[in-house]
Amino acid sequence: MKDLSKIRLFEAIDLIKKQKLKSEELVRYHLELANTKGKDLNAFITVLDDSIEKAREVDQKIQEGKKVGLLAGIPCTVKDILMTKGIRTTAASKILKDFIAPYSATVVEKLEEEGAVIIGKTNCDPFAYGASGENSGFGPTLNPIDNTRVPGGSSSGAAASLAAGIGLFAIGTDTGGSVRQPASLCGLVGLKVTYGRNSRYGLIAMASSFDTPGILSHTVREAAFIEEIIAGKDSKDATTYDLPVENYFKKLNEIKNLDKVKVGVPKQYFEQGITQDVKQAVQKTITKMKKNGAEIIDVSLPILKQGISVYYILVPSEISSNMARYDGIRFGRKEEDNYMQNLLKTRSKYLEPEVKRRIMLGTYALSAGYADEYYKHASRVRVKITREIMELFKEVDILVGPTSPFVAFKLGEKSNDPLAMYLADVYTVNANIAGCPAISINCGYNKEGLPIGFQIMSEKFSEAKLLGIAANTEKIINES
């Protein structure tokens, strides 16, 4: 009998389609984990026990010889900020505690069309506001490697559940690193694609010009396979691009090694803030890339230092605008008949502290007398950062560095210092500012056995190249 804990995505697909493993058996196993280990980690807001019926339907179709999708019977999880029709969708905030989604996000629909079985909606920072998973209105998520530490955020439950062996892949969202950073802290692969490559339709908005649905997986090959399914133009989302989706999975094999790959290493990534163990692991990986044929090019991009400042002006500004709908009338929980009294009571009672903090920051940045000084100035710097990064990609194929300046930190360690918490995104935000694709892969562990992430970024819509280089880098790391 197969050890279900060791079965990964591609083996599961093969076994289910050959009728050597029933989807019902696999899904039941993962649901049991979600209800036990997942509960201990507080990784889920909603576990979908009735998803077992979908697994049975898949088994029936296969038994009858009917055509099934690429992900037929595969259990997965979805971050609770993505809408799922007829299922509670809370955005991990008390203000949406009882909200039932009237339709599904496009990326969710695409997964289900290919037969994927969603076993649960994962915990996250409320409305994706956070980098640790501690801000959720439903309590913090714990890191499965060390339960006294955070799993990263905002896709905390997605990362923690997958790292704990629950589900075969997870869908999260990445606004400033919210897929890559928790992937780094949990020892996983985290893929954030070009802005506009994946549809945002049905994603509860945080910052509309930054948000990107992303993937957490165990390997780069798995991420490439899933991305090929969820990518593409969506008539319901005007920000998606009408560009053909490449065969990312097949193209992984086209990059046989790292010969002639030009790897840019910004020196700004290794200055203040990075811990020694992370610095050593990342530099060791760069050395391995060089030994395997890559050309390492030291580059300087001083404006990268402005990225975190730009991000934390523009994103709260968009948050301030997007959160206006949560007034207890359009969305949220009604407390009073009087509109203004209801607005005050609903927001005071049900919005989490970090949500309130970011609304206030954004409202201030957009207020009369300050919009020119903050928001408009930050918008101009965003254009400059994007332009300079694009210029750099004329010289190099990829930019590499750490995903996070530190490994998973203790629960509560940074809770009383918002600035220190915001700096957790210092290496990831620039990919979102410029709209570029980026991926985090595990490149080692520190002395305490905590994983360290290695980030690779490439130019817009170069996912095939990014994934190919990442897969080769992953192989180099694992072989040594």
pLDDT tens readout for residues 326-354: 998 899 888 998 999 998 999 999 999 99
**Arithmetic mean of pLDDT over the chain:** 96
Question: What digits encode the pLDDT tens for the residues 141-165?
Answer: 999 999 999 999 999 999 999 999 9
Say how many domains are in the chain.
1
Q: Among 23, 51, 104, 154, which one carries the catalytic annotation?
A: 154
Whether residue 12 lies inside any domain: the answer is yes
- pLDDT score recorded for residue 319: 97
Whether residue 169 lies inside any domain: the answer is yes
Whether residue 225 lies inside any domain: the answer is yes
The two tokens of residue 313 are 């002006």
Arithmetic mean of pLDDT, 31-43: 98
- pLDDT score recorded for residue 214: 98
Q: How far apart are CA 169 and CA 163, in angstroms?
A: 10
Whether residue 262 lies inside any domain: the answer is no
Cis peptide before 154 (omega within 30 of 0): yes
Q: Is 199 a catalytic residue?
A: no
Whether residue 442 lies inside any domain: the answer is no
Q: Among 22, 54, 79, 94, which one carries the catalytic annotation?
A: 79
- Residue 172 banded pLDDT, cuts 50, 70, 90: very high
**Residue written as token pair 């058996």:** 25
CA 27 to chain centre: 23
Q: In what helix (H) or strand (E) does residue 41 lie, and over which residues does it extend?
A: helix 23-41
Whether residue 318 lies inside any domain: the answer is no
Question: What digits encode the pLDDT tens for the residues 92-146?
Answer: 999 999 999 999 999 999 999 999 999 999 999 999 999 999 999 999 999 999 9
Least confident segment among 17-31, 409-423, 437-451:
409-423
- pLDDT score recorded for residue 1: 59
The domain spanning residue 42 has which CATH number? 3.90.1300.10
pLDDT surpasses 70 at 197: yes
Report which of 161, 142, 143, 99 is spatially closest to residue 330, judged by C-alpha positions: 99
What are the φ and ψ backbone dihedral angles of 198, each rounded to 5 degrees? -110, 140
Whether residue 110 lies inside any domain: the answer is yes
Under DSSP, the state recorded for 176 is: S
Contact 433, 177 (CB under 8 A): no
Under DSSP, the state recorded for 246 is: P
- Residue 478 banded pLDDT, cuts 50, 70, 90: very high
Q: How far apart are CA 131 and CA 151, in angstroms?
A: 9
Under DSSP, the state recorded for 140 is: P
Q: Is 320 a catalytic residue?
A: no
Report which of 434, 474, 444 is spatially closest to residue 456, judged by C-alpha positions: 474
Q: How far apart are CA 429 and CA 386, in angstroms?
A: 12
- pLDDT score recorded for residue 316: 96
Whether residue 36 lies inside any domain: the answer is yes
Q: Which domain holds residue 100?
A: 4-252
- pLDDT score recorded for residue 14: 97
Question: What digits encode the pLDDT tens for the residues 306-325?
Answer: 999 999 999 999 999 999 99
What is the CA angle 205-210-216, rounded to 5? 85
Arithmetic mean of pLDDT, 22-48: 98
Arithmetic mean of pLDDT, 356-362: 95
Q: Among 104, 178, 217, 440, which one carries the catalytic annotation?
A: 178
Q: Are strands 117-122 and 170-174 parallel, antiparallel or unpaired?
A: unpaired
Map residue 214 onto helix, strand or coil.
strand
Question: What digits encode the pLDDT tens for the residues 383-430?
Answer: 999 999 999 999 999 999 999 999 999 999 998 887 788 888 999 999
pLDDT surpasses 90 at 31: yes
Give the strands of the sheet with 212-217, arranged side by side: 44-47, 117-122, 75-79, 170-174, 212-217, 189-192, 438-445, 451-457, 398-402, 262-266, 295-299
Question: What digits encode the pLDDT tens for the residues 210-250?
Answer: 999 999 999 999 999 999 999 999 999 999 999 999 999 99
Q: Is 23 a catalytic residue?
A: no
